[in-house]
Structure 1
């Protein structure tokens, strides 16, 4: 029977509606560290995987789990059912083996451990405009709540580092640092952006600026990377304390945490910390001005509803308006990886 493209079809509706099924299959595999263990072993049968992960499900459900991962492209499979042997795809081997520096599973771990349950309350968030996470019961601030727990803080820092790994790498190589000598990364978390810039730009000295609780974790990561000579940390609250002055001020997934007035306040503080000719760089999932293409950016904005209540992701047009209002002379947008871009403003 001939298929007509203009005929209505429920396929995309069901694909999106059941999307949490697919998400949970991947998140469960990450939680089990399946890809890391397969990277160590090379290839494994279904029964070997079942024993390794201590799974008690029936064999058919084991095959369903592994073959769904295969169908999604996360695993390779030779053979079928009892005779099947599984191995990592090129993508999971590169990005979901925890022993590799390219590991991005930190964000997936946080999605599974925290965000999965909170997104179940998206309707309530939209109805009330209130956060749906740990601060739902009355805590004042997400970051204050996260930073109370060393385990949650480390998970959050690893998540922020993993989701931005490729973007920071791209920025460190694409942005023209030749005119500059110093950089301050505001809300620098585990100092990954500073370390990436120092790695690729040997003339740059960087400061990762964040709350005091973050400093020991960042310093440990800097020491492990053997970059302590050119990457330092500084502690403070970026709303109440001045930013360490530098030729370049960066923020990775920081502006989207806040409402418009607080975004502008942070931009003003960045402007004040820069010299004439200095650059401010925001690395975020900047939404296209027509709001039709960067759906991930819009979902990230909804995640800010879940996490903060008032934070939101934004378009380059909005970025232009805000930066102009605090005095920046010109702007530029540079695509990075996936849905992310660097929105740049020059003083």
Structure 2
């Protein structure tokens, strides 16, 4: 008789159940309902529109997951939920959670097919692309980008501290969407001239978002395809979640174009959920598998591979460091200028 405990296997088998509890709690706005203070089960069920047959198990499951605390029959948000899951707070990550709920399950449900065929599994096979038809519907696109903004807010804050920006005057955020990361950087380093570079269809959404942030005229928008159109020249070019969309040859080709656009003495900053060189980090490998699942050529890449691409493009190796505990930042520096 085996003595191996099957518990870890069972927990892995039902891991998506906990994630779906979180997704539903965000959709029902359970945590915002508790922002003003504790509620008992009946009060919270009424506030969130929960049916009483499922409410108690659902709320206690949230407590078991560490998102709610229960004391004397009343529920309150834990510090984690209070910080990141209450709407209208600057730290709110609900948009990102909604985004993952909408995008992950449809594609990962077809993983077996993808493993057999090697073909990417789009959200909508008739419309193609990871984002489906969002570009054709401005409201869908705004919701999609709002989910990304929740992440880029945190990344921007960390990137603003991880790099010494004092010697740089300008930067370009390549594939910068509606400019949210650029906005965070210029708010923390007002001396920087910022440009967001993305496809032409993103321009109206960029204008609206930057206007709402009160930064119109502070961040420029340049439209183009960074494989075929000129990349604006700047001291620093940022590539966040860009290279994981392409294979190694395309990544190397893009970095050669970036090298020509970075001014002497400037730098390239690359961040992604890069795979550790020993290929042992399950979270990073799952992220890579996701990119291969939703795109024909994408996938995460090893930190060592990225550093090799950077030096092959002509940059000197500026090393790497962790960001947010989930990502890696690789830095390359273009020789010349005051930074040498």
Given the two structures, how large is their TM-score scaled by the length of structure 1? 0.90
TM-fit CA distance, 1:43 = 1.9
Distance 2:43 2:100 in 1: 28
Change in CA separation of 1:239 and 1:57 when aligned onto 2, cut-off 3 Å = farther
Aligned match of 2:315 in 328, 334, 341?
328
Aligned match of 1:337 in 324, 327, 333?
324
Deviations 1:198-257 (A, max 9, x none): 111121111111122222222232223223343222222222222111100002111111
Distance 1:112 1:277 in 2: 42
Work out whether 1:49 is the aligned partner of 2:37: no
Distance 2:319 2:158 in 1: 16
Counterpart position of 1:68: 61
Change in CA separation of 1:143 and 1:267 when aligned onto 2, cut-off 3 Å = farther
Unaligned runs of 5+ in 2: 335-340
Distance 1:56 1:223 in 2: 41
Q: CA RMSD in A?
A: 1.9
Alpha-carbon contact 2:32-2:85 (below 8 Å) kept: yes
Where does 1:153-192 land on structure 2 (aligned, <5 Å)? Answer: 153-192=141-180
Alpha-carbon contact 2:200-2:224 (below 8 Å) kept: yes
Unaligned runs of 5+ in 1: 1-5
Aligned match of 1:221 in 209, 220, 242?
209
Work out whether 1:28 is the aligned partner of 2:16: no
Aligned match of 1:207 in 168, 181, 195?
195
Deviations 1:77-100 (A, max 9, x none): 122xxxx21111111111112201
Aligned match of 2:251 in 232, 253, 263?
263
Where does 1:177-326 land on structure 2 (aligned, <5 Å)? Answer: 177-293=165-281, 295-326=282-313
Work out whether 1:149 is the aligned partner of 2:166: no
SS of the aligned residue for 2:50 comes to coil
SS of the aligned residue for 1:345 comes to strand
Change in CA separation of 1:330 and 1:114 when aligned onto 2, cut-off 3 Å = closer
TM-fit CA distance, 1:143 = 5.2
Alpha-carbon contact 1:208-1:233 (below 8 Å) kept: yes
Distance 2:140 2:122 in 1: 13
TM-fit CA distance, 1:70 = 0.6
Change in CA separation of 1:22 and 1:141 when aligned onto 2, cut-off 3 Å = closer
TM-fit CA distance, 1:155 = 2.3
Alpha-carbon contact 1:198-1:227 (below 8 Å) kept: no
Distance 2:130 2:19 in 1: 24
Distance 1:12 1:317 in 2: 32
Counterpart position of 1:3: none
SS of the aligned residue for 1:276 comes to strand
Change in CA separation of 1:33 and 1:87 when aligned onto 2, cut-off 3 Å = same
Aligned match of 2:71 in 54, 57, 78?
78
Aligned match of 2:80 in 74, 88, 91?
91
Deviations 1:292-343 (A, max 9, x none): 13x2221111111222132001111110221222222223112111211211
Work out whether 1:112 is the aligned partner of 2:101: yes
TM-fit CA distance, 1:31 = 1.2
Alpha-carbon contact 1:104-1:165 (below 8 Å) kept: no
TM-fit CA distance, 1:17 = 1.4
Q: Which moved more, 1:177-186 or 1:90-99?
A: 90-99
SS of the aligned residue for 1:247 comes to strand
